[in-house]
Amino acid sequence: MPNILAPQKKKWLSNLVLLSFLLLVGGTAFLSNTFKTHSKGKNDFIEEALVFNNKELDKVTQLILKNKSGEYSFERADTNTGSIWHMTSPKDLSASSAFIEKLFTTLNTIKTKKLLLDDKTNNSNFSLDKPTAILTLTDEAGKSILLSVGIMNTIDNSTYMKISGRNGIYHVEAPSISLENITTADLIKSTVFEFDAKKILAFKIFKKNSKTPQFEVSKKDGVWSGPEGKALNTTRLEDLLNEFVNLKSSFVLDEQTDAQKKQASTLLSNGEYTVKVTMEDNQVYSYQTGAVTKSIAEVPLSEEPHFIIVENHTPIVYIVKKEFLNLFELKNDRLKSLE
């Protein structure tokens, strides 16, 4: 009797094992499909969604940006329209309102491509273990948002971000501002000559100790002319003047230390040029250049040659790269090409 039942028992066990295996494979496939569908749905939902919204950022009063150039801190008194941003570190300077406005516009418009897993591999692959830039935004209540920026994906013009208090890594459209490459010049009010070339009545450049301009143009009844009274091409002349209008400084010192004041005085005494600009309202602005230097107290020039420019009615010192000193070398014989 045992010899007859044994084969049947073995066959029954084999069928049971096969059935269990099929059930296991089928169940695994079902669960896998279920989770895949859920994950896809989540990414479909977040794709093209805004990373931030206006309500999330409109109460920000403090901002800290850290990148390869250094660490920069800003603050404003309140969130009222027109409230001025001020750089508090590394120097106490007026911030560039254009940069701040563009930054918040960018943050409020960038969209998500995908939400990725926040694990060790992805953090390493996207350089989020060593961010290219870190942005800290703090609101009136003291609540902070920490934004870490990873590498740029040049193939689809995107980048990767981590946001404190949120899960996952955000694969997003590349912001219009490169937080990684921002420098002091981008963050402050760096324009030296803040006037409209079209509203200038007279523009003169004097060499040191000379009462006669080396370059002189004036406008009457909308017509530009040189010292000899010959009419000049308005478009070409204003293009030339716009080179001055668009001149930007690397650093701005609106409040100087005693050491900086002393050094600025010495540099100005050895400077070469004075620029005088008369505007349509007959207000006259005078700018003086200083000697070239590779070192200014407490300013990171990195041994790169710069010169200073000081405006007559303000205590602000503009520090400009030496390469722009050639703008001041204009002479009246240049006007022949503008007639």
**Same domain as 286, residue 176:** no
Q: What is the mean pLDDT of residues 55-61?
A: 84
**Same domain as 137, residue 61:** yes
**Same domain as 58, residue 173:** yes
Question: Nearest Cα to 215, choosing from 204, 207, 224?
Answer: 204
Q: What are the pLDDT digits (tens) for 86-104? A: 888 876 666 677 788 888 8
The answer on pLDDT for 185 being more than 70 is no
Contact 190, 131 (CB under 8 A): no
Strand 93-94 relative to strand 112-116, pairing: unpaired
More confident of the two residues 28 and 186: 186
- The predicted pLDDT at position 24 comes to 58
Q: Is 26 a member of any domain?
A: no
- The predicted pLDDT at position 299 comes to 84
Q: Is 237 a member of any domain?
A: yes
Which range marks the domain in which residue 295 is found?
A: 197-338
**Same domain as 207, residue 173:** no
Q: Is 117 a member of any domain?
A: yes
Pick from 31-40, 152-161, 236-245: least confident? 31-40
Q: What are the pLDDT digits (tens) for 212-244? A: 999 999 999 989 999 988 998 988 898 889 988
**Same domain as 214, residue 139:** no
Contact 317, 311 (CB under 8 A): no
**Same domain as 83, residue 153:** yes
More confident of the two residues 125 and 196: 125
Burial 119-151 (b: 16+ CB within 10 A, else e): eeebbeebbbeebbbbbbbbbeeeeebebbbbb
- The predicted pLDDT at position 205 comes to 96
What's the structural domain count of the chain? 2
What whole-number distance in Å separates Cα of residue 230 and Cα of residue 241? 18
Decide which of 152, 187, 222 is a domain's last residue.
Answer: 187
pLDDT band at 23 (very low <50, low <70, confident <90, very high): low
What whole-number distance in Å separates Cα of residue 274 and Cα of residue 331? 13
pLDDT band at 7 (very low <50, low <70, confident <90, very high): low
**Same domain as 130, residue 85:** yes
The structure's pTM equals 0.53
pLDDT band at 36 (very low <50, low <70, confident <90, very high): very low
- The predicted pLDDT at position 40 comes to 40
- Tell me which H or E stretch contains 93: strand 93-94
The answer on pLDDT for 325 being more than 50 is yes
- The predicted pLDDT at position 81 comes to 61
**Same domain as 122, residue 83:** yes
Q: What is the mean pLDDT of residues 250-278?
A: 90
What's the mean per-residue pLDDT of the chain? 83
Backbone angles phi, psi at 292, to 5 degrees: -75, 140
**Same domain as 230, residue 301:** yes
Contact 184, 251 (CB under 8 A): yes
**Same domain as 218, residue 323:** yes
Q: Is 264 a member of any domain?
A: yes
Q: Is 42 a member of any domain?
A: no
